Structure 1
Amino acid sequence: MYELHSLVDGFPGKSSSHGAFGWSSLWLLHQGDRRVLIDAGPPAYIPLIHEGLAELGLDTGDITDVVVTHLHWDHVGNFTMYPNATTWVGEEELAWASTQPAGTKFIPDLHIQELLRRRDGVERMRDGQEILPGITAIASPGHTPGHLAFHVDAAERSHVFAGDAVKNVFELNTLVVDSTMDADASRASVDRLRSLLRDTSGVLVPGHDVALALDGTDAVRLAEQSSRIGFFADGVRGEVDRSIR
């Protein structure tokens, strides 16, 4: 069973004036010689990834697998920085993304072309497939057509890595999903993942929030949610801290 480490906690925020923040969740799964990242994070995470791995006595060369929930820039952006890793990408998701014209919202064109170009180090996966020991793919369409979540056998409680099928605690509680290509499909995906949590008494890691669990019928955060934003205004440096439960 896997030991789990949050390298960067996701945050449920976005900017209407400067596009999405892209503060996605990034977790490391460790079992024996296998070290697995769930998603690759956005480019801004590069220093945070190096720092987080170093705290665990690791570097990017120690990562054996990168498992991608979907092909938006903040989830696939850094897959090339792991020289020894196999990148796992949904077969349906890649087929869809490869047909989108350059400049399609949230789709990183060059990353998609690189995934298609590589003959080695990229594996395609499908719903229901145990892609690695103890890690099973779960179809969770809506946010994107081929989105996948993952059920992971963890040392203490099983975990569901939902990606942006469930971005935050609000979506898990209400089944109302922001930023989706198919609202009905998203609602069905959230319901499916809630049912899995109920059946397993597990933990859900959303795409843009801290880990969640069900307390009766209510989803609750298992850790404090916090962020810090720095800015400059009128020649003065400012900083905003935000913590929520």
Structure 2
Amino acid sequence: MNASRKRGQNFIREADPEAPLVLDFYSWVLISDDRAIVVDTGMDPAKAARHGHTHLLSPVDGLAQLGVDAALVDTLILTHAHYDHLGYLDAFPRARFYMQAEEMAYVTGPWMEKPWFRRAYEPDEIARLVTLLHADRLTLHGREAQIADGVSVHWVGGHCAGQEIVRVRTARGWVVLASDALHYYEEYERGVPFAVVFNASDMIAGHDLIRALADSDDHVLPAHDPRLAALYPAEAENILRLDVAPDHTGARKILHSSAAQVV
């Protein structure tokens, strides 16, 4: 999934607001010898079309290419409840879902009276979360929780009230799936907030927690940065392998090309 956007849509007080900056959309799967844990479920194609996004690959099809049957997945982490992360909940009929309790309070509480805060949520998907809660399939946990050996979740807030990040132990060390705590590496590098924000101070403070939990900046993975495709090898079309070290040579080529296009 990706979308053509301008820098002014992504960054507050952007110096070059009309310059293009593509927004990519990712979901993740953590695969070990004995199980697969899915992190977020992508975007419903109909909602993607309505919001002007180009649908590239269903996460269910992507999982199948990796040998993971969505119907058999038993653990699914929801980093927050924006529409681009909840698109395929019903494709995981056996899964127990995990989400911050603060996010559920946020999406069902008085902040949703304000159009600014509800604009990235879809009412039918929030209703689906309530249904999963009443079916005993949604665990609403505290700010930090251990999901499995080597997999923990940590509240950062900022982008929304219940935004969390995921810390994962891999063969190359501790990796942080920053989800929408970082849409782009640029936020982290420049210390600036993304434009869709609930609490800007929490968003900036989240950068420090990401750094504390990751083994290095090379172990941090944003949720929407096209630079990922230049840094990491393709496992298949539109599927990246992220448990290997990034290749910064390829990223420099992409950045140089983008700068030339902007000029």
TM-score range, shorter chain: 0.7 to 0.9
C-alpha contact (below 8 Å) 2:23/2:226 kept by paired residues: no
How many aligned positions are there? 208
Residue pairs, 1:114-125, within 5 angstroms? 114-118=128-132, 119-125=135-141
C-alpha contact (below 8 Å) 2:60/2:91 kept by paired residues: no
CA distance in 2, matches of 1:196, 1:210: 23
Larger fraction in strand = 1
5+ residue gaps, structure 2: 10-21, 46-54, 239-252, 256-263
TM-score w.r.t. the length of structure 1 is: 0.74
Q: Could you list the structure 1 runs, at least 4 aligned residues long, displaced by more than 6 angstroms after superposition.
A: none
5+ residue gaps, structure 1: 1-9, 213-220, 229-242
CA distance in 1, matches of 2:57, 2:3: 21
CA offset digits 1:173-223 (Å, max 9, x no partner): 0121212122111111112212333xx2361121112687xxxxxxxx733
CA distance in 1, matches of 2:34, 2:113: 39
Q: Structure 2 vs 1, CA of residues 23 and 222 (structure 1 numbering), >3 Å: closer, same or farther?
A: closer
User: Shift of residue 171 of structure 1?
Assistant: 0.9
- Match for 1:60 among 49, 70, 74? 70
- Match for 2:153 among 134, 137, 148? 137
Larger fraction in helix = 2
C-alpha contact (below 8 Å) 1:40/1:76 kept by paired residues: yes
Residue pairs, 1:178-193, within 5 angstroms? 178=194, 179-193=196-210
- Match for 2:5 among 5, 8, 14? 14
Question: Superposition RMSD on alpha carbons, in Å?
Answer: 3.1
User: Shift of residue 147 of structure 1?
Assistant: 0.8
- Match for 1:146 among 140, 162, 166? 162
- Match for 2:106 among 96, 109, 113? 96
Deviates more, 1:117-126 or 1:62-71: 117-126
Q: Percent identity?
A: 25
Q: Structure 2 vs 1, CA of residues 22 and 73 (structure 1 numbering), >3 Å: closer, same or farther?
A: farther
CA distance in 1, matches of 2:140, 2:207: 23
User: Shift of residue 40 of structure 1?
Assistant: 1.0
